[in-house]
Chain A
Amino acid sequence: MSITIQNLNKQFGTYKALDNINLEVNSGELLALLGPSGCGKTSLLRIIGGMELADSGSLLFHGEDIQQRDARERNVGFVFQHYALFRHMTVFENVAFGLRVKPKKERHNEAEIKRRVHELLNLVQLDFLADRYPSQLSGGQRQRIALARALAVEPKILLLDEPFGALDAQVRKELRRWLRRLHNDLHITSIFVTHDQEEALEVADRVVVMNKGKIEQVGTPDEVYATPATPFVYQFIGNVNLFHSRDHAPWSDEHGDAVAYVRPHDIDISRVAQDETALAVEVKLVRAIGSIVRVEVAADGSSEFIEIELSRERFDSSPLLEGDKVFIRPRQFRVFEAEAI
């Protein structure tokens, strides 16, 4: 089911949580809402789920306005940040809950409920935990049970609020891959909220980058990383060096008072000046981190460090030492007018 959001606004007191949001979510895609805390991503998710009401704007599911519809009637599965498992019910009863509270005439018989719950528990590979209570599960298991519970009512849309937020790094990575695979199998239109760029880029079909209640960019993971639309996206996704035109970096001079954004791995280092736009710098720090080498340099008389990432291969072909005088030049950069920042 597709979702269309038009001119959506939401204000909490004097704080504008959502500022004129327009977004189209395609049927069957896995979309990430990415942004720092307080950017409005969770509010947007809760409005889609019917947990909050928008102040103005429209929200359409498959072309049909559903804002007047109650959360219960939206047929949306919601996975809560802290899972919100019912602590006094077993895993089985948690997953069965949505089936048991259906109106009498729609309700399945006990055998059918049992079959479906076990099917779902098998889907999340936790059928052996059916009789446990939530407090007896690990974080990753709770997460998967919460997902199974949301899927039990056969939602047309799945919403996940910071699905991996409360897990440790290792479990997080595994669950990410697992969620991706699960989505490939089920193809339910899914939206998840995250503040972790790596998570968004790795899992989602498309990423919506949000900041201060506005959408900064919508695109595939590759698009938002390789061609960021705004300075915010540049800084939020991946590392970036900022070159102020008036200080140094002659190659950006033509733009007047502007700032050039350059990724650390988009900078060439050379012992001789590549051309007249090259910047003379001194190597301040060299650190090998796994397969890459991070070099920090500073222009003469400047205290601002510029970060450069080289592959180990490339570094080994012409090693650098702290204190070396070298020249740098960006291969790729993007310039934004100062007022746009």
Chain B
Amino acid sequence: MSAQHIKRRISTQESPLVTVTLIAIALVFMALFLVLPLVTVFIEAFAKGWDLYWTALKEPVAWEAIKLTFIAAGIAVPANLVFGVSAAWAIAKFDFKGKSLLITLIDLPFAVSPVVSGLVFVLLFGAQGWFGHWLQAHDIRLIFAVPGIVLATIFVTFPFIARQLIPLMQAQGKEEEEAAVSLGASGWQTFWRVTLPNIKWGLLYGVILCNARAMGEFGAVSVVSGHIRGLTNTMPLHVEILYNEYNFVAAFSVASLLALLAVVTLIVKSTVEWQAKRSGDILH
């Protein structure tokens, strides 16, 4: 009996033609919508050569934008990290009334348009806002200033870490913590030695996603920034200004840094996913 008489395909597989077609459709779709834009960023950035690329990045205004982006993310990520851990601790390790309402409310910023996220802070702290008069009287500027940008960034990245940790910690249960306490560990000892090592991958995952959004946020920050060059411009806002001035090379040069951030984010994210899978954690 020669091998070619054996039917090669079992009945739960598609024909090779279908398989190849489906893979081709998927790859073309991905290439068109994902790969091409990513590559284009770098092509456009280097369109006029290295020199112009470096000149665009060495601009003091570009540096100010980079600095402000790091400041905003540097405040928003740790703030939401502390919040995420404490929310997940309360929700996953204890039973209390109103828990599911709390979980829903935490997700709220995801349901709101970035523009509206900026708008609410203008309504609160803007010239005509609730606290507008009081702030003006005390000569405090929140809107069209750095604090507003930080607040808007915190708002849009608010749920990232919490919603990563809550299901993870719920799945892990509280037996290990109870065991630690029964062995004489204090609250902090339990948290640092038992809980934290167990959630480290989920935590890192949340931080990465949170940071990517914090550095890349455009709509909300745009509304509260006032677009003051060198003062209230983050990197994405700086890209917008350069682009609208038809300074495409400079726009794409700054954009290429953000694209690089995205690539690094994806790489770290995949690594963390792989590590988490190895230690049996669930990531969402």
Residues on A facing B (Cβ under 8 Å): 49-51, 71-72, 76-78, 80, 82, 84-89, 97-98, 101-102, 135, 149-150, 152-153
Smallest CB gap from B198: residue in A: A88
Q: Which of B244-284 contact A (CB under 8 A)?
A: 279-280
Question: B185 to A101, Cβ gap below 8 A?
Answer: yes
* Interface residue B102 (Cβ < 8 Å from any Cβ of A): no
**Given A80-B179, A82-B175, A86-B194, A101 contacting B186 (CB threshold 8 A):** yes
The 3 A-B pairs of least Cβ separation, nearest first, read: A98-B183, A84-B175, A101-B185
* B182–A51 touching, CB < 8 Å: yes
Interface flags for B109-152 (1: CB within 8 Å of A; 0: not) read 00000000000000000000000000000000000000000000
A97 contacts B185, C-beta separation under 8 Å: yes
On whether the beta carbons of A84 and B183 are closer than 8 Å, the reply is no
| Beta-carbon contact of A51 and B176 below 8 Å | no
Q: B178–A80 contact, CB under 8 A?
A: yes
Q: Is the CB of A72 within 8 A of B179?
A: no
Interface string of B187-207 (1 = CB under 8 A from A): 001000110011000000000
Question: Which residues in B have their C-beta under 8 angstroms from that of A77?
Answer: 182
Interface centre among B183, B185, B189 (most CB of A within 10 A): B183
- Indicate if the CB atoms of B176 and A76 lie closer than 8 Å: no
List B residues at the A interface (Cβ < 8 Å).
Answer: 175-176, 178-186, 189, 193-194, 197-198, 279-280
User: Which B residue sits closest to A79, measured CB to CB?
Assistant: B179
- Nearest A residue (CB) for B199: A88
On chain B, the residues within 8 Å of A80 by CB distance are 175, 178-179
Q: Decide: A149 and B183 in contact? CB cutoff 8 A.
A: yes
In this complex, what residue of B is CB-closest to A75?
B184
Does B183 lie within 8 Å of A150, measured CB to CB? Answer: yes
A97 touches B198 (CB 8 A): no
Residue of B nearest to A100 (CB): B193
B180 cross-chain contacts in A, Cβ below 8 A: 86, 97, 101
In the complex, what's the smallest C-beta–C-beta distance from B204 to chain A, in angstroms? Answer: 14
Majority-rule SS of B interface residues:
helix
- Which partner residue on chain B sits nearest A76 by CB separation? B182
B191 to chain A, nearest CB (A): 12
> Is B193 a contact partner of A97 (Cβ separation < 8 A)?
yes
> Which B residues touch A149, using CB under 8 A?
179, 183
Please determine whether B184 and A98 come into contact, CB atoms closer than 8 angstroms: yes
A-B contact list, 16 entries, CB within 8 Å: A51-B178, A51-B182, A72-B181, A72-B184, A84-B178, A86-B176, A86-B180, A86-B193, A87-B198, A87-B280, A88-B279, A97-B185, A98-B184, A101-B189, A150-B182, A150-B183
Give the nearest-CB partner of B187 in chain A: A72
Contact B181 A71 (CB under 8 A): yes
The residue in A76, A77, A88, A135 that gathers the most chain B C-beta atoms within 10 A of its C-beta is A88
Could you tell me the distance between the alpha carbons of A84 and B194 in the complex, rounded to whole angstroms?
A: 11
B198 engages A78 (CB within 8 Å): no
Bound complex: CA A292 to CA B222 (Å): 85
CA distance in complex: A89, B176 (Å): 12
| Residues of B contacting A71 in the complex (Cβ-Cβ under 8 angstroms) | 178, 181-182
* Complex CA–CA separation, A48 to B2 (angstroms): 73
Looking at the assembled complex, report how far the CB atom of B76 sits from the nearest CB atom of chain A, in whole angstroms: 29
Tell me the minimal C-beta distance from B8 to chain A in angstroms: 39
Within the complex, what minimum Cβ distance (angstroms) separates B12 from chain A? Answer: 32
A252 → chain B closest CB, angstroms: 49
Residue of A nearest to B200 (CB): A88
Residues of B within 8 Å of A88, CB to CB, are: 197-198, 279
CA A78 to CA B185, docked complex, whole Å: 13
In contact, A84 and B179 (Cβ under 8 angstroms)? yes
Judging by beta carbons under 8 Å apart, are A101 and B198 in contact?
A: no
User: Which residues on the B side are within 8 Å of A153 (C-beta)?
Assistant: 183-184
Q: Note all chain A residues with C-beta closer than 8 A to B197.
A: 86, 88-89
**Cα distance A76–B193 in the bound complex, in angstroms:** 21
B180, chain A: closest CB distance, angstroms: 7
- Residues in B neighbouring A82, C-beta threshold 8 A: 175
Known: A84-B176, A87-B279, A98-B185. 4 other contacts (CB 8 A): A71-B181, A84-B179, A149-B183, A153-B184
B183 partner residues in chain A, CB cutoff 8 A: 97-98, 101, 149-150, 152-153
- How many angstroms from the CA of A167 to the CA of B53 in the assembled complex? 65
State A115–B182 Cα separation when bound (angstroms).
Answer: 22
For B186, the chain A residues whose CB sits under 8 A away are 72, 101
Residues in A with CB closer than 8 Å to B182 are 49-51, 71-72, 76-78, 150
CA A88 – CA B184 in complex, angstroms?
19
> For residue B179, which residues in chain A have a CB less than 8 angstroms away from its CB?
78, 80, 84-86, 149
- In the assembly, what is the distance between CA of A71 and CA of B280, in Å? 30
Residue of B nearest to A49 (CB): B182
How close is A255's CB to chain B, nearest CB, in angstroms? Answer: 48
In the complex, A84 Cα to B182 Cα: how many Å? 11
